Amino acid sequence: MGRQVAIASAGFSEHASKRSDVNMAELVSEAVEDCLKNAPGIELGDIDAFVNGNMPAFEGVNLPELWMTDWMGARNKPLLRVTTGGTTGGTVAISGYYTVAAGLPKIDTVLAIAFEQQSQGDTSVGLGSVAYGEISVLNTMGIPYDQLSRLLSAGAAIGVAAYQATNYMRKTHTTEEDLARVVVQNRHNAAKTWWTHLKMPDLTIEEVLDTPYISFPLRYGMVCPASDGACAMLFTTEEKAKEICDIPVYVNGVASVANETAVLGYDGSGTGQIDPSDQLGAMKSSELAYYQAGISFPRKEIDYAEVYSPFPNQELMWVEKLGLFEETTAPKMYEAGVTALKGELPINCSGGVNSTNAIGASAMERPAEAALQIMGKADNQVPKTVHTSIGHGWGGSLNLCTLMVMSDEPQRKWKRGAM
C-alpha cells in the first residue's frame, strides 16, 4: 500500500511564442522559482529527487536535463526523465506522485518539472521523426502503406483533430458557433492568468468564425499556439506537506491509459476504434482514477476540471468522455454557462491548451492549475470552494490519456491501493 501523496505547490514560467530572452535551462528555473515561492516551508536543497520531461526532438537537444541540472537544483540527486508526446507533462506529474508513494528510502519530496521551448527547434521535423519510426514498424509488421495513408495525410495534430471534430459534430449536431464559443471562453480566461500565452479579453464568436479554415471544420482562430514555457509541481508526503504549505492538495487517484495507436484505430484494427472521437483511453483512465478516489458520480463530486484541449472540439469531447456531462450535451452546457468561471462546473479557467501550448509542459499545467484552484491560489480563481478537481492530458501516438484526481481531503482509506 503506497503512502498518501500531497501536492505542496505548483509554479510556472511566463509563456510566449518565443522566449528568446532565456535558454531552456533559464526557462525551467523560472518555473522552479515560482513553485518554491508558493511553498515557503521548503528550500531547493530540501528536495530529495527530481522528475523531468519534454519532447527532445522538438528542440533538437538530447538529454537536456544534463545541461540544466544546476538550474533545477538536481546536482547529485536522483532524477528520472520521461517523454510521452503531448502527455509528457501529465506523465511527469504521475511519475512524481509514484516516486513519493513508493516510499523509497530518503525520498519524501519530489520536484516534477516539464517544459518546452519550441522556438528553439522545428516541431514539425520532430513530429515527423517520431511518426516515421512508428509507421516503419507498422509496415514491417505487415500493414501496407496505403492503409496508413490517413495518418500520413492527416496534417499532423490539427488534421487528426479535424477527423475527431467532423465525427463529433455529426453525432452531436454541434455547430461551428459551438466550437467558437469554447475558444472565446478559453481566451477570455487566459487573459486573467499571468503566465498564459494568448490573452484575448475582447475576442468574440464572430471574430473566430471570420478566420480562414486550416482543416475543416477547424479555423485559424480556433487552434492552439506554439508556446515556450515550463511548469513545476512539488509532491511530498501528507505529513511534510502540512509543514511546507498552508493548504495541501491530496492526490487521490491517477491513471495513464493508452489504446491502440491512432493509425490502427482509423484503419479499424486494434480495439476497433474506428471513430476518432471515441477516445477509449479517456474513458478508461477516468474509470480507474475515479475508482481510486472513491468517486461514483463525477458530475456531482468534481468541482473543477482542467482538460487537455488544443482544439475546441476536443474540449467538448473530453468533458463527456471523462463523465462530467452526458454524451452529446457538452455544447449546450457551454452555451448555458455551466462551464464558465461562475458556473456549476468551471472548466479550464486558465485558458487551457487552446490558449497556451508548451507541449512538454501542457499536460502538467492541467493538474497544476487544478491543484491551485483547491488551494485558492489560482490567478483566475473560481468563486466557489473547490474541494475536488481533475487534471487531464492527451498525447502519446494520439492514443494516450493521463488523469489526476485531487482533493482537499486525504484519500478514503478503504480505497487506497485498490487498483
Domain membership of residue 163 (yes or no) is no
Cell of 371: 491543484
Residue 271: the pLDDT is 53
Burial (CB count within 10 angstroms: exposed 0-12, middle 13-18, buried 19+), residue 204: exposed
Domain membership of residue 400 (yes or no) is yes
| First and final C-alpha spacing in the chain | 10
Cβ contacts of 387 within 8 Å, gap of 6 or more: 303, 374, 407, 408, 409
Cβ contacts of 95 within 8 Å, gap of 6 or more: 51, 80, 82, 112
Burial (CB count within 10 angstroms: exposed 0-12, middle 13-18, buried 19+), residue 207: middle
Domain membership of residue 152 (yes or no) is no
Quick one: which of 354, 351, 355, 309 has its CA closest to 330? 309
The whole-angstrom separation of Cα 78 and Cα 110 is 10
**Total domain count, the chain:** 1
Instruction: Write down the pTM of the prediction.
Output: 0.92
CATH classification of the domain holding 262: 3.40.47.10
The whole-angstrom separation of Cα 13 and Cα 127 is 24
**Element (H or E) spanning 89, and its range?**
helix 88-101
Cα-based distances in Å from 194 to 11, 89, 186: 11, 20, 14
One digit per residue, the tens of pLDDT, for the chain of length 419 reads 579 999 999 999 999 999 999 999 999 999 999 999 999 999 999 999 999 999 887 777 888 888 899 999 999 999 999 999 889 999 999 999 999 999 999 999 999 999 999 898 766 666 666 666 666 666 777 766 665 555 555 566 787 788 889 999 999 999 999 999 999 999 999 999 999 999 999 999 999 999 999 999 999 999 999 999 999 999 999 999 999 999 999 999 999 998 765 555 544 444 556 677 888 889 999 999 999 999 999 999 999 999 999 999 999 999 999 999 999 999 999 999 999 999 999 999 999 999 999 999 999 999 999 999 999 999 999 999 999 999 999 987 667 899 999 999 997 554 544 44
Domain membership of residue 213 (yes or no) is no
Cell of 7: 501536492
Q: How many Cβ atoms are within 10 Å of 370's Cβ, its own excluded?
A: 31
Cβ proximity of 27 and 19 under 8 Å: yes
Quick one: which of 254, 246, 233, 238 has its CA closest to 365? 233
Q: Are strands 110-117 and 228-237 parallel, antiparallel or unpaired?
A: antiparallel
DSSP H helix total and E strand total for the chain = 18, 11
Domain membership of residue 231 (yes or no) is yes
**Element (H or E) spanning 51, and its range?**
strand 49-53
Q: How many Cβ atoms are within 10 Å of 367's Cβ, its own excluded?
A: 33
Domain that holds residue 358: 5-122+227-407
The whole-angstrom separation of Cα 292 and Cα 5 is 13
Q: How many Cβ atoms are within 10 Å of 37's Cβ, its own excluded?
A: 10
Domain membership of residue 181 (yes or no) is no
Treating both helix axes as pointing N-terminal to C-terminal, what angle do 88-101 and 359-375 enclose, rounded to 10 degrees? 60
The whole-angstrom separation of Cα 367 and Cα 23 is 25
- By three-state DSSP, how is residue 163 classified? helix
Residue 267: the pLDDT is 46
Query: Among the residues of 235-358, which ranges form H helices?
Result: 238-244, 262-267, 280-293, 298-301, 312-321, 330-335, 352-355
Domain membership of residue 301 (yes or no) is yes
Asked, as a colleague might, if the bond just before 217 is cis with ω within 30 of 0, I would say: yes
Domain membership of residue 361 (yes or no) is yes
Q: Are strands 79-82 and 218-219 parallel, antiparallel or unpaired?
A: unpaired
The whole-angstrom separation of Cα 257 and Cα 337 is 31
What's the half-sphere exposure (Cβ side, CA atoms, 13 Å) at 339? 30
